[in-house]
């Protein structure tokens, strides 16, 4: 699919990955409509922090992904929908699973129904590596069994399956992109890398964390954003799931050491029981198999492998080191 002269809708545009994706689209010369969560403060989330020349090029629509009428209005007139709106915090999904069903499953259904009704040319739904659960084999390919070890993961499995069902049932041109753990500037402190960096940047040398042994395949946010454009342009990605990742597996404990080195400090880790997942819910190992993405749309992350991870961590630490950015984070509070 040729993406030139196409108008994009990005749901969840006010969030971490969504704001980077909006920025990338504008810089690439695309027309962009950004769907953000309505709030009484008239905040556009991270879009408020984009350069004025980029922000001024974006049509911002506030609403609620759970509202089918508002979603349909947002989709109307757009050729490509990049659907990122979701509740993503795993610990909060233990506390309020019903809200995850409403947002992640019903919200995705609203997008698919609107796209079907309006004849949208391409829909990309955002999945997560958490749908696989702890690796039963590595690298984790798209054929790996699905195992929802948290309410969050279970709702994302449901959303993915509804998307694929709309392709099978109605020939809706929808693809499911499954990024492994994305990190970078603007990420929520509910994720482990910002949790580590924000504590260090605020002066802490005793870092509070949960489990240190699980491994992750971390992908820098600009690579993930590029993956959405690549998937959107790829006709062969329609009707299937495609992983994207960095091709590098690293433990949380080693990640702490790499961050400390990048920030030129020595730290000690204190394991905080409230930051530990329930035993059966901890995903012990994630390592992406990305051959399908390589074959379909030439996936090759700029921040791949260990060297790329070190570079990405350094850039992320610099961003958090800006006092204006750091002030947005409650580094001394556990955010579920």
Query: Between vectors from CA 193 to CA 187 and to CA 196, what angle results, nearest 5°?
Result: 115
| pLDDT attached to residue 118 | 98
In this prediction, what percent of the chain has a pLDDT beyond 70?
100
User: What value does the mean pLDDT take over residues 261-289?
Assistant: 91
Q: Write out pLDDT tens, residues 55-95.
A: 999 999 999 999 999 999 999 999 999 999 999 999 999 99
Domain boundaries, the chain: 7-183+219-245+290-301
| pLDDT attached to residue 330 | 84
Separation CA 307–CA 273 (nearest Å): 32
Q: Which tokens hold the place of 80?
A: 């490509």
Separation CA 111–CA 117 (nearest Å): 10
User: What value does the mean pLDDT take over residues 118-127?
Assistant: 98
Q: How confident is the model at residue 331 (pLDDT cuts 50, 70, 90)?
A: confident
Q: Is 80 exceeded by the pLDDT of residue 335? A: no
186-195: burial string, b at 16+ Cβ within 10 Å, e else = bbebbbbbbb
Q: How confident is the model at residue 33 (pLDDT cuts 50, 70, 90)?
A: very high
Separation CA 231–CA 284 (nearest Å): 28
Look up the CATH architecture of domain 7-183+219-245+290-301. Answer: 3-Layer(aba) Sandwich (3.40)
Q: Write out pLDDT tens, residues 178-203.
A: 999 999 999 998 899 999 999 999 99
| pLDDT attached to residue 333 | 77
| pLDDT attached to residue 182 | 98
User: What value does the mean pLDDT take over residues 314-321?
Assistant: 97
Distances (CA, A) of 19 to 22, 23, 37, 172: 5, 6, 13, 26
Q: Is 80 exceeded by the pLDDT of residue 334? A: no
Q: Is 80 exceeded by the pLDDT of residue 328? A: yes
Helix (H) or strand (E) holding 181, with range, is none
| pLDDT attached to residue 79 | 98
Residue with the bigger pLDDT between 176 and 208: it is 176
């Amino acid at each position: 699919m040729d993406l030139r002269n196409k108008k994009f809708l990005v749901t969840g545009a006010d969030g971490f990955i969504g704001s980077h994706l909006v920025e990338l689209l504008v810089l690439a010369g695309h027309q962009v409509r950004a769907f953000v969560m309505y709030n009484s403060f008239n905040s556009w989330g991270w879009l408020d922090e984009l350069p004025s020349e980029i922000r001024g090029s974006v049509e911002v629509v506030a609403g609620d992904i759970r509202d089918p009428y508002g979603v349909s209005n947002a989709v109307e007139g757009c050729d490509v929908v990049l659907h990122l709106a979701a509740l993503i915090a795993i610990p909060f999904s233990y506390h309020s699973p019903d809200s995850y069903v409403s947002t992640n499953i019903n919200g995705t259904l609203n997008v698919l129904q609107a796209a079907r009704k309006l004849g949208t040319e391409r829909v990309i739904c955002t999945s997560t590596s958490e749908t696989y659960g702890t690796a039963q084999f590595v690298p984790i390919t798209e054929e790996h069994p699905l195992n929802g070890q948290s309410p969050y993961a279970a709702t994302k499995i449901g959303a993915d399956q509804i998307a694929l069902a709309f392709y099978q049932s109605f020939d809706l041109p929808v693809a499911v992109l499954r990024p492994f753990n994305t990190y970078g500037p603007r990420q929520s402190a509910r994720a482990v890398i910002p949790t580590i960096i924000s504590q260090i940047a605020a002066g802490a040398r005793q870092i509070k964390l949960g489990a240190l042994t699980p491994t992750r395949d971390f992908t820098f946010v600009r690579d993930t954003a590029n993956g959405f454009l690549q998937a959107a342009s790829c006709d062969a990605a329609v009707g299937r799931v495609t992983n994207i990742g960095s091709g590098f597996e690293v433990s949380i404990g080693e990640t702490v050491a790499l961050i400390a080195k990048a920030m030129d400090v020595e730290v000690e880790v204190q394991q905080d029981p409230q930051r530990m997942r329930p035993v059966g819910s901890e995903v012990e190992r994630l390592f992406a198999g990305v051959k399908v993405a390589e074959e379909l749309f030439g996936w090759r992350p700029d921040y791949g492998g260990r060297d790329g991870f070190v570079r990405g961590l350094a850039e992320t630490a610099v961003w958090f080191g800006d006092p204006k950015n750091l002030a947005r984070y409650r580094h001394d509070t556990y955010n579920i």
